[in-house]
A and B are shown apart, each in its own frame.
Chain A
Amino acid sequence: MSILAYWFLLPSKWRPPFLLAISLLFIALFNVQYIPYFLIHIGLVYIAGLYIEKGGRKKPLLILILIWLIGNLCFFKYGELLFRAIVEFGSPFFPTPKGKLPTLLLPLGISYIIFRCIHYIVEVYRKKAPRGSFIHFALYVLFFPTFLAGPVERFQRFHTQTLGIKGPDLSNVNQGLFRILLGVAKKFVLADHLARWIIPALQSPESYPRLIVLLFIYGTAIQVYLDFSGYTDMALGVARLFGYQIMENFNRPFFQRNIGLFWRNWHISVYSWIRDYFFFPFFGYRASTLKIYLGIFLTMVVFMLWHKGSLNFLILGIYNGLGLVLWQFFQEIKRRFPAVRRWASKPFFNPVSIFLTFNFVSFGFLVFFFDLSHVYKIFIQLF
């Protein structure tokens, strides 16, 4: 109904506020309290953008707003974890609250919202993005197809599309519906069934031969991909119904020939966000090689901890961060030793690299489902 109203009843200038209203309604379905919280953030960022654009005290304001945004994200994502750690480890040294600890209400989609806000304010500061109207900015942040799980589209691309949407477009609707169906099939048919089959089986790896355990491990990686990319397909499909082409989040990640390429093609919108707003500013500007390697490692750790503040994801970050650093060392070896380079450029090396990369990431993805002691148990059975 809303699609028909959007294309046939509303003049184009009313479409953005209409989409914003639908987005707010969508958020209210989860919890109406999120709306004022998000609108306060969006309002503050927009006002800061106005002030920065007019050439006021740009840098202090940018820093202040970044601290506010990152502080909010850390408070909601990691505050409870930190509080529990303080209570647990501090109890022998100082009085700590007894009984059940309060649980923070994590606003849904907060990290995506904060990432969009940070991207917007930094790009307005750099004069690389237009400020846009408040409605357009709020729609960009809260756009309901991408509100829950991304992708984190870039403002300039989104804003251009908001301004450019004219008449009804049947091809967009067709492609959107196809993408939604593809996402539903990936997520609800393949990923969910695969999870129901593989995860219980890996609970008792000792019951299966090695080869089957290995196939189950590959299955977990494929399950994570189908689950997440299925969500992305649905989000992109719904956005397309309303005339928006949102950036892709996955680009054949399991067919990449090294760990660096794998991560550049997995969850692209967030990985590239962390690269642009964490790696380059802190580690990528006139840095020593050591600092760059440290940056590559820490970027991966931050990327993983962004998914979830837990020991499992910390280990996953360290594992992949070390993988990326080792890959860079190998590149250096190739550069220095022509014999290694010749060997690495042989035709058989490409499929072997793809296979090795797939194995490396598949083993890592086990921590999505199992605690570390169980992952160890699976490896014992495998090796």
Chain B
Amino acid sequence: MKDQIRSFIVENFLFGERGVEDDEPLFDSGIIDSLGLIKLIAFIEKKFNISIDMSEIMIENFNTLNGIMETLKSRSKSS
């Protein structure tokens, strides 16, 4: 799952020019912006057939690859 999300980020926001580390800040470093976050969430929902609640759409929850995985894990625990 993590690698698929990583590939999406690399392909769509870094244009395949370099990779992205697990703890690299995506938002703070300007790799993704608000629009990018919406695209990323749309990708995750479609690809993994899950529904992310509106209240979870916060930069802090999606700022790193590890953070995204944590958010998705805690989501699956609570549902």
Q: Verify A264–B57 contact, CB threshold 8 A.
A: no
Q: How far is the CA of A264 from the CA of B38 in the complex (A)?
A: 16
Query: Which residues on the A side are within 8 Å of B33 (C-beta)?
Result: 260-261, 264
Q: Verify B34–A296 contact, CB threshold 8 A.
A: yes
Interface majority SS on B: helix, strand, loop or mixed? helix
Known A-B contacts A126-B55, A128-B55, A272-B59; A284 and B34 likewise in contact (beta carbons under 8 Å): yes
Query: Which residues on the A side are within 8 Å of B15 (C-beta)?
Result: 334-335, 338, 341
A371 touches B (CB below 8 Å): no
Interface residues as binary, B9-35 with A (CB distance below 8 Å gives 1, 0 otherwise)? 000100101000000000000100111
Which one, A276, A286, A292, contacts B58 given CB within 8 A?
Answer: A276
Q: How large is the interface on B (under 10, 10 to 19, 20 to 34, 35 or more residues)?
A: 10 to 19
Q: Verify A335–B17 contact, CB threshold 8 A.
A: no
Contacts across chains A and B counted by CB atoms under 8 Å: 40
B50 touches A (CB below 8 Å): no
Interface majority SS on A: helix, strand, loop or mixed? helix
Of B33, B42, B55, most buried by chain A (CB within 10 Å of CB) is B33
Q: How far is the CB of A55 from chain B (nearest CB, A)?
A: 16
Q: Verify A280–B17 contact, CB threshold 8 A.
A: no
Query: Which residues on the A side are within 8 Å of B55 (C-beta)?
Result: 126, 128
B54 touches A (CB below 8 Å): yes
Question: Across the two chains, which residue of chain B brings its CB closest to A334?
Answer: B15
Q: How far is the CA of A279 from the CA of B58 in the complex (A)?
A: 11
Q: How far is the CB of B19 from chain A (nearest CB, A)?
A: 16
Q: How far is the CA of A86 from the CA of B54 in the complex (A)?
A: 38
Q: Verify B30–A286 contact, CB threshold 8 A.
A: no
Leading 6 A-B pairs by shortest Cβ distance: A126-B55, A285-B54, A284-B38, A280-B57, A260-B33, A261-B30
- Hey, which bits of chain A sit against chain B, CB under 8 A? 126, 128, 257, 260-261, 264, 272, 275-276, 279-281, 284-287, 292, 296, 328, 331, 334-335, 338, 341, 345
- Hey, which bits of chain B sit against chain A, CB under 8 A? 12, 15, 17, 30, 33-35, 37-38, 42, 45, 54-55, 57-59
